[in-house]
Amino acid sequence: MKKHCTAILLAGGRGSRMGAEIPKQFMEVGGKPLIAYALEAVERSAILEDCILVTAPEDMERMRRTVLDRFPSGKVLAMAPAGSERCFSVANGIRMLSEIRGSCDSGSGTTDILFILDGARPFLTEGILERCYESVLRYGSGVAAVPSKDTVRIADEKGFVIDTPVRSSVWNIQTPQAFFFPEIRDAYEAMVKAYEGKAPKDITDDACVYERFTSGTVHLAEGSYENLKVTTPEDLALMEQILSHM
């Protein structure tokens, strides 16, 4: 029997590296806001039942008016406020989901598996979601990733190389990142208590939280080189190029 899967869709960034006047999730690309591509992937997915959309409190009305009204989604349960850092945004989304779901014990309406998605990844596919889902069932976690195409060097603070990992063992991490809900919920609650609102520089994604605050290990699931995250104007140009060939 299929597990109930919920997504937390992150759309709370300011997009400072994009150099735009508005947050990048609202930028029009190919006739629709950037965030609409991820929302549509959630909407058509057979894996994901519903989602929590996380955005800045001051952007919630804009999100309703310029995105949800134009591209209605029956899967959005609620909007949660973004935090000062990505990890706190995820924590706020989990808190909102817990309030909606109530008890996390087995039963109707319970979220079994949580997927955490970047709203700035417009080319999320059902195949990636399926591979992450199967990875969670088998290994307890499923983090989308692709093998690095480049040689990676480890440098010290002065820029001198101190190590060179074997390229075949180096992967570029993406989202979705998926976990059994009770485990990742408890891990995020522990993270919030541990950092007490301070910016955790050593927490860069959900896998870090899972590794740090549970006894589990992270298993990588096959992502896609097209599953890019739009962060800079160069990424935006690449997205437009991909769209032109679809």
DSSP secondary structure letters along 16-60:
GGGT-SS-GGG-EETTEEHHHHHHHHHHH-SS--EEEEEE-GGGH
The tens digit of pLDDT for each residue in 123-161 reads 999 999 999 999 999 999 999 999 999 999 999 999 999
Tens of pLDDT, residue by residue over 38-66, are 999 999 999 999 999 999 999 999 999 99
Q: Which domain holds residue 163?
A: 5-244
Cα 245 to Cα 243: distance, rounded to the nearest angstrom: 5
First to last CA, the chain: 34
Neighbouring residues of 244: CB distance < 8 A, sequence distance ≥ 6: none
pLDDT of 102 over the 50 cut:
yes
Under the banding of pLDDT at 50, 70 and 90, the label for residue 104 is very low
Please choose, from the candidates 180, 195, 172, the residue with its C-alpha nearest in 3D space to the C-alpha of residue 86: 195
Whether the pLDDT of residue 109 is over 70: the answer is no
**Gap between the Cα atoms of 5 and 75, Å rounded:** 11
Whether residue 126 contacts residue 133, with contact meaning beta carbons closer than 8 Å, is answered with no
pLDDT at 200: 86
Helix (H, G, I), strand (E, B) or coil at 197: coil
Distance from C-alpha of 23 to C-alpha of 27, rounded to nearest angstrom: 7
Letter for the amino acid at 212?
Answer: R
Total structural domains within the chain: 1
Q: What CATH code is carried by the domain that includes residue 40?
A: 3.90.550.10
Residue 119 has pLDDT above 70, yes or no: yes
Q: What is the pLDDT of residue 36?
A: 97
Query: Does 73 have pLDDT greater than 90?
Result: no
Answer for the pair 90, 116: CB distance below 8 angstroms, yes or no: yes
Q: Render pLDDT for 188-197 as a digit per residue (tens, 0 to 9).
A: 999 999 998 7
pLDDT at 14 over 80: no
Residue given tokens 């709370």 in the structure block: 12
Backbone angles phi, psi at 111, to 5 degrees: -80, 125
Mean residue pLDDT across the chain? 93
pLDDT tens digits along 172-215:
999 999 999 999 999 999 999 999 878 788 899 999 999 999 99
Mean pLDDT of 234-244: 92
In terms of DSSP bridges, do strands 154-155 and 32-33 run parallel, antiparallel, or are they unpaired? unpaired
Report pTM.
0.93
Give CA–CA dist 123/135, Å, rounded.
20
